[in-house]
Amino acid sequence: MKMIGPTNPSRGARRPLGLDEVRLTTGFWADRQQQNAQVVLPHCITWMERAGWLDNMRVLGAGGPAAGRRGREFADSEIYKLLEAHAWEAGRSGDPATSQFVTAWGATLAAAQAGDGYLNTNFGRPGQAARYTDLAWGHELYCYGHLIQAGVARLRAHGTDDLVSVTCRAADHICAEFGPAGRTAICGHPEIETALVELYRATGQERYLTQARLFVERRGTGLLPPGPFGREYFSDRIPVRQARVLEGHAVRALYLASAAVDVAVETGDDALLDAVVHQWQRTIATRTYLTGGMGSRHEGEAFGDDFELPPDGAYCETCAGVASVQLAWRLLLATGEARYADLVERTLHNVIAGGLAADGHGFFYTNPLQQRVAGAAPEPDALSPRAATGLRAPWFEVSCCPTNLARTLASLAGYTATADAGGLRIELLTGAEIHTTLASGRRVGLRVATDYPWHGRVRIQITDADGAPWRLSIRVPGWARGATLTAGGQTHAAVAGSYAQAERAWRPGDELVVDLPVAPRWTFPDPRIDAVRGTVAVERGPLVYCLESVGLPGGVDLDQLAIVTATPPRDAVTSEPETQAVDVAAIATPSSAPAAWPYAADRPAGAAAAPHPVRLIPFYARANRGPAAMRVFLPEHRAND
C-alpha cells in the first residue's frame, strides 16, 4: 500500500504509519520539527551556498567545467539529503515554497544528469578522475543512495516529478553498470543498498531489489582494498551474514546492517535477518553508550572492542545515531519487539536531539559523554573540522550530520506509530494526532497528549472509531518499572519493556492513560566497561543527564566531585520552562594541584567534607551555556574512600 514515510517494508510484524497518518502536534518532537522547518533547513541552504556545494551542481547542470568544484568527494550527497528533508517537510506541512525548492532542484539535477543516467560533480569531466575509478573512497554510489532516498521521499510525499525521474534514471544506470552483467564491485560507503530497496518498494521494480541484494551479498568478499583502517572500516572484512557484531566505521556498519534487514524482509531471507538480529544484540550489549551513541574510536570513526566504551574518547557520531535509529526501526517493523523501539527513543532523545543547538544554528558531529576541558567556541563563520568538540559548530568541512538530522526530524512522524491487522501501537511517546485505516478496513483516529519526557503521563483519546473492537497499544520503556495503564476506569500494572495494551470496542472520547515513572534514577555501568568503573549516571525517563562545569559553585572542580548515592537524585525546582534539571548530593574534594607523579604506593584519601547538591541537566541540552567541561558518568563516593 502507499505509505508516506522513509521505510515501507512489504512484510513484517508491523506496518509503519506515514506522515499522512500521523501528525506531531505539541511537545518535545513537534517543537524540534518546527525548528527544523523554520531554522535548520534555511541554515543548511545558507551554508551549502557558502561552501559552494550547491553551485557545484548548478555548474554541472549548465555544462560548466570541473575546475572550481568545491568540497569533499561526497558533497553531492548533502544536496540530496537537503532535498529529502525538504520533500518530507513539504509533505508534512504542505508549504508550497518548500515543495517548490524540490521542484526547482529536480530541474537542475535533470540538467546535470548525463544521458546514461550518471550524475556526480566529482568524476568524469575533463580534469577529473574517470567514473568509478575510486570506488573505495569516491562515494559515487553513496551519493546515488542519498539521491534515491530523496527521490523516494518526493515520490511518496508528492508524486512523480523531475527529481523522481532523475532518481529512476540513476537507479537504472546503477543496475546496468553494477548488475550481474556489469562490474562486480561495491562502494566504500554503504548507503545505496537501503535506497534501492526503498525505490523497489515505492515503484515495484524488482531490479532495484535484485541490485541491492547483490551489493549486500558482495560485501565481505574482498572487493575493496584494505586501506589504512583495515577491511572492517568498509564493513568488508567478512560477509554480513557471517558477522557476529558490528565493527569498523559505525555509520557504514549501521547502514549496511539496515540494508541487510531490508533485503532479508523483502526476499524472505530469515537467516540473514537472524544474523543482523544477533549483531544488533551483541552491539547493544557491549558496544553502545548509555546515550545510544555508537562508535568508541576517533581513529576510523569506529566501533571499539566489546566493553571499550570510553566516555571522553567516544566518537558517537550524530550520523551514527541517525543510522542506528534506521536499523532499530527496521528491526522493530520486522519483529515487533519493544527493545528496538526503546533504542530508537533513547537515541533520538540523547544523540539526535543533542546534535542540535538550542537555537538550531549549530551541530555536534561527535557526541562524547565526557568533555575533560571546556572546548573553545568554534569560529562563527568558518567550517569546523568534523571532530570539533566544545560547542556545536555552524558547519563542518565534512558536514554529513546537519542534513542527516534535518531529514530525520522532517520525517519523524513516520517513526511514531505502527499498525498490524488487530490494532495500533504508539511507539514514540509524544504529542500527536493519528488517523488511519487498519488492515481490517476499520478507520481509527486518536490524539496523544503528553508532556513527556518531562512528565510521565501519556493520555490517548479516541477521536474516531466505529464501535468495533480493536487493540490499542503503547510502548512502556524498559526503564519504566512501576508503570501503570488506566483504561475504562481501571488501573493495571504495565510491564516495562513491552507494550501495555487494551482491546475493546473503542468509542470517540474514550481514554487510555499510561503513567510512566520518570523520576530521576541512578544507573550503574557493567563492571566490564573499564572506562567508567566506580561511577554512576543519572537518567530521568528516556533522558540521560550530565553535569557541566558551567553552573558549579565557585571553587568546585568537576573532576574532584564524588556522588553520594545514598541520597536519591531528585527533580530540581527551577524556572526553566523546558529542561527539567536534577539535583544530586556530591562531596567536593578541595581542588588540588596535580602530584609530581600520579601513581602512588598509598591509596588516595577520599574527601571527608559534607555533601552538597549539584545540578545536572539533560545530556542533549549540554553546551548551550558556553564552553564547559562535562560528565555523564560521575565518580561515586564510597564509604571507605
**Residue (317 or 510) nearer to a second copy, CB:** 317
> Rule CB under 8 A: is residue 602 a binding residue for a second copy?
yes
Within 311-350, the residues that bind a second copy by CB under 8 A are: 311-313, 339
Q: Does 601 bind a second copy (CB under 8 A)?
A: yes
Q: Does 507 bind a second copy (CB under 8 A)?
A: no
Strands 470-476 and 423-426: parallel
Question: Given the complex with a second copy, which of 217 and 307 has the nearer CB atom?
Answer: 307
The nearer residue to a second copy, 63 or 598, going by C-beta atoms, is: 598
Least distance to a second copy from the beta carbon of 397, Å?
9
Question: Contact at 8 Å (CB) between 220 and 238?
Answer: yes
Q: Is 145 in the site for a second copy (CB under 8 A)?
A: no
**Distance (Å, whole) CA 475 – CA 473:** 7
Rounded Cα gap, residues 499 and 479, in angstroms: 13
Q: What are the residues facing 16 on neighbouring strands?
A: 418
Task: Give the number of other Cβ atoms within 10 Å of residue 555's Cβ.
Answer: 8
| Least gap, CB of 307 to a second copy (angstroms) | 7
Identity of the residue, 33 or 535, whose beta carbon is nearer to a second copy in the bound complex: 535
SS3 166: helix
The closest of 410, 5, 409, 439 to 202, measured between CA atoms, is: 5
Q: Report the phi/psi class of residue 204: left, alpha or beta, with left for phi > 0 and alpha for psi in -120 to 50.
A: left
Nearer to a second copy by Cβ, of 313 and 360: the residue is: 313
Q: Which one among 61, 310, 423, 542 touches a second copy, defined by CB under 8 A?
A: 310
CB nearer to a second copy: pick between 99 and 370: 370
Return the closest-CA partner of residue 108 out of 35, 56, 40, 34.
56
Q: Which three cell numbers stand for residue 449?
A: 497528549
- Subset of residues 45 to 84 that bind a second copy, contact rule: CB under 8 A: none
Specify the residue, 573 or 595, whose C-beta has the smaller distance to a second copy. 595
The nearest distance, CB 550 to a second copy, in angstroms, is 18
Work out how close the CB of 462 gets to a second copy at its nearest, in angstroms, rounded to a whole number. Answer: 34
Q: How far apart are CA 608 and CA 596, in angstroms?
A: 23
- Are the CB atoms for 531 and 311 separated by under 8 Å? yes
- Find the binder of a second copy among 200, 395, 452, 479 (CB under 8 A): 479
DSSP assignments along 11-28, one per residue: SSS-EEP-TTTEEE-SSH
Asked if 594 interacts with a second copy (CB under 8 A), we say yes
Dihedral angle of Cα 158, 159, 163, 165, to the nearest 10 degrees: 180
Position 618 contacts a second copy (CB under 8 A): no
For CA atoms 12, 14, 16, 21, the dihedral sign is positive
- What's the gap between Cα 416 and its chain centre? 14
Contact letters for a second copy, residues 536-575 (x by CB under 8 A): -x---------------------xx---------------
Question: By CB under 8 A, is residue 498 in contact with a second copy?
Answer: no
SS (H, E, C) 310-326: CCCCCCCCHHHHHHHHH
DSSP 226-259: --TT-GGGGT-SS-TTT-SS--SBHHHHHHHHHH
Name which position in 284, 323, 500, 617 contacts a second copy (CB under 8 A): 284
From residue 433 to residue 472, the character string flagging contacts with a second copy as x (rule: CB under 8 A) and all else as - is ----------------------------------------
Nearest residue (CB) to a second copy, 481 versus 504 = 481
- In degrees, rounded to 5, the angle at the alpha carbon of residue 202 between the alpha carbons of residues 324 and 138 is 55
Of 242, 555, 604, 610, the residue at the interface with a second copy (CB under 8 A) is 604
- DSSP E strands: which ranges in 370-410? 370-371
DSSP string, 443-489: EEEEEEEE-TTSS-EEEEEEEE--SS-EEEEEEE-TT-TT-EEEETT
Nearest approach, Cβ of 305 to a second copy (angstroms)? 4
- Per-residue x/- track, 364-403, a second copy (CB under 8 A): ------x-xx-----------x-x----------------
> Residue 419 in 3-state DSSP?
strand
Binding-residue total with a second copy (CB under 8 A) = 63
Residue with Cβ nearer a second copy (199 or 630):
630
Give the number of other CB atoms < 10 A from CB of residue 94: 10
Residues 223-252 that bind a second copy (CB under 8 A): 228, 230
Interface with a second copy, residue 522, by CB under 8 A: yes
- The bridge status of strand 511-515 relative to strand 370-371 is unpaired
Q: Least CB distance from residue 225 to a second copy, whole Å?
A: 13
Q: How many residues can be counted in the chain?
A: 641
- For a second copy, which stretch binds (CB under 8 A), given 256-264, 283-291, 404-412, 573-581? 283-291
Of 529, 538, 614, 617, the one binding a second copy by CB under 8 A? 529
Residues 620-639: x where in contact with a second copy by CB under 8 A, - otherwise, as a string: ---------------x--xx
Shortest Å distance, C-beta 575 to a second copy: 30
As measured in angstroms, the least distance from the Cβ of 105 to a second copy is 32
Could you tell me if 581 and 537 are in contact, meaning their C-beta atoms sit under 8 angstroms apart?
Answer: no
For a second copy, the binding residues (CB under 8 A) are 228, 230, 281-282, 284-286, 288, 290, 297-299, 305-308, 310-313, 339, 370, 372-373, 385, 387, 478-479, 481, 521-535, 537, 559-560, 589, 594-604, 635, 638-640
